[in-house]
């Protein structure tokens, strides 16, 4: 749909030429577009809606945006638009307002979707909280957009494709750590369930190597231990081929999410509740979840060597997945790029 001259943004981007306030309020031409979203969802009995990318609105300094900025900030003395540009006296308030516009765009989409199916799921593939400075650079603020989502989906790009790259300064553990960090940063600012999306091939193409699934395994287990409620994947070969090494990993990660689910959904994370000794905490990560009189302890080994730790508990314990009893008076072995997942009884 083509916006009218009055509806166009003053600085349109490649995604849309429509003023972000028109988008955020679901009015005018954009409102008519949202009617087609509702109609298509009804037509195909859709269960929900997913925004397949982030919530960055186009730049606009029209009077409509000026008035919306004043309502949001309670300011009325700005010199428009000079005061809201870079280095202007209200630039920080402008960034907050822009992030709010993006969040209201999510809200407008959600309202259209729920006119088709009340209470339906609404997800968005959205940069983790301030990932690489995206609050300022792109005005994408997960903490604001998540208010209108059922599950934000936080992505991170490809891990190295072989072990030799794992410890490089600009790859490997840095990349693994960056994915872990962006999920934790996002968990810190919202109570909504976070889904982690791993981009396992980038760029797309049959010549691009797959991320190594064992390296990905260590990252996935750490991210589940942090509290992610789901996982998804982006990428693939354009000839349709699939790296078969992923198949057993997918089943495993699903089993971990299912077994840990009661703790992740109904429990509380408290990493101080159970301690471990014997390993560098930067390389062997520990996450603890409490539910009633039990604790679930994730001990994730991000190294290529088997590690041995001592879990500081004298209570009965067993393995999360197998139910095998564990004697915590003895050292606990954590294989390379793997996790020990221990239920400690009350």
- Domain residue spans of the chain: 275-344
Contact 211, 200 (CB under 8 A): yes
How many other β-carbons are positioned within 10 Å of the β-carbon of residue 163? 14
Q: Is the Cα torsion angle 269, 273, 277, 282 positive or negative in sign?
A: positive
What Å distances lie between residue 338 and 108, 216, 259, 278, CA to CA? 42, 10, 17, 16
Asked whether the beta carbons of 219 and 186 are under 8 A apart, the reply is no
How big is the CA angle at 319 (ends 317 and 320), to the nearest 5 degrees?
Answer: 110
Listed residue (231, 162, 166, 221) closest to 196, CA to CA: 231
- Backbone angles phi and psi of 72, in degrees to 5: -70, -40
How many angstroms separate the CA atoms of 276 and 197, rounded? 29
Q: How far is CA 56 from the centre of its chain?
A: 16
Question: What pLDDT is recorded for position 241?
Answer: 77
Please check whether residue 105 is in contact with residue 144, taking contact to mean a CB–CB distance below 8 angstroms.
Answer: no
Q: Which of 336, 292, 344, 342 is nearest to 319 (CA)?
A: 342
Q: Calculate the alpha carbon distances from 108 to 32, 145, 173, 190, 268 in Å.
A: 12, 11, 39, 20, 32
Residue 158 has a pLDDT of: 65
The pLDDT tens digits along the chain (346 residues) read 789 999 999 998 878 899 999 999 999 999 999 999 999 999 999 999 999 866 677 899 999 999 999 999 999 999 999 999 999 999 999 999 999 999 999 999 999 999 999 999 999 999 999 988 999 999 999 999 999 999 999 998 766 665 555 444 444 455 788 889 999 999 999 999 999 998 777 777 777 777 888 888 999 999 999 999 999 988 777 787 777 888 889 899 999 999 999 999 999 999 999 999 999 999 999 999 999 999 999 999 998 899 999 999 999 999 999 999 999 999 999 999 999 999 999 8
Q: Would you tell me how many other CB atoms lie within 10 Å of the CB of residue 203?
A: 9
Say if domain 275-344 classifies as CATH 2.60.40.1180.
yes
Q: What is the pLDDT of residue 207?
A: 78
* Strands 339-344 vs 317-319: parallel, antiparallel or unpaired: antiparallel
pTM of the model: 0.92
């Amino acid at each position: 749909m083509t916006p009218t001259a009055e509806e166009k943004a003053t600085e349109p981007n490649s995604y849309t030429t429509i003023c972000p306030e028109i988008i955020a309020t679901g009015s005018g031409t954009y409102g008519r577009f949202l009617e087609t979203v509702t109609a298509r969802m009804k037509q195909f009995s859709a269960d929900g809606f997913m925004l397949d990318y982030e919530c960055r609105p186009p730049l606009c300094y029209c009077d409509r945006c000026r008035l919306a900025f004043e309502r949001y900030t309670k300011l009325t003395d700005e010199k428009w638009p000079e005061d809201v540009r870079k280095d202007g006296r209200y630039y920080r308030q402008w960034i907050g307002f822009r992030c709010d516009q993006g969040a209201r765009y999510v809200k407008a989409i959600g309202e259209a979707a729920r006119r088709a199916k009340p209470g339906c799921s609404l997800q968005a593939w959205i940069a983790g909280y301030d990932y690489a400075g995206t609050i300022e650079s792109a005005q994408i603020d997960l903490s604001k957009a998540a208010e209108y989502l059922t599950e934000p989906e936080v992505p991170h790009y490809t891990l190295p494709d072989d072990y030799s790259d794992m410890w490089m300064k600009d790859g490997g553990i840095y990349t693994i750590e960056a994915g872990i960090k962006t999920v934790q940063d996002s968990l810190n600012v919202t109570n909504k369930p976070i889904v982690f999306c791993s981009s396992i091939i980038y760029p797309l193409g049959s010549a691009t190597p797959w991320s190594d699934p064992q390296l990905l395994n260590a990252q996935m287990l750490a991210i589940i231990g942090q509290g992610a409620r789901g996982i998804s994947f982006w990428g693939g070969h354009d000839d349709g081929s699939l790296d078969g090494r992923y198949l057993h990993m997918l089943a495993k990660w699903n089993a971990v999410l299912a077994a840990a689910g009661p703790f992740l959904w109904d429990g509380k994370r408290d990493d101080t509740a159970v301690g471990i000794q014997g390993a560098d905490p930067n390389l062997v990560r520990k996450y603890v979840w409490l539910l009633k009189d039990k604790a679930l302890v994730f001990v994730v080994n991000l190294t290529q060597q088997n590690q041995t730790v001592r879990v500081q508990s004298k209570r009965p314990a067993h393995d999360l997945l197998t139910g095998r009893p564990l004697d915590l008076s003895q050292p606990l072995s954590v294989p390379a790029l793997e996790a020990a997942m221990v239920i400690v009884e009350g």
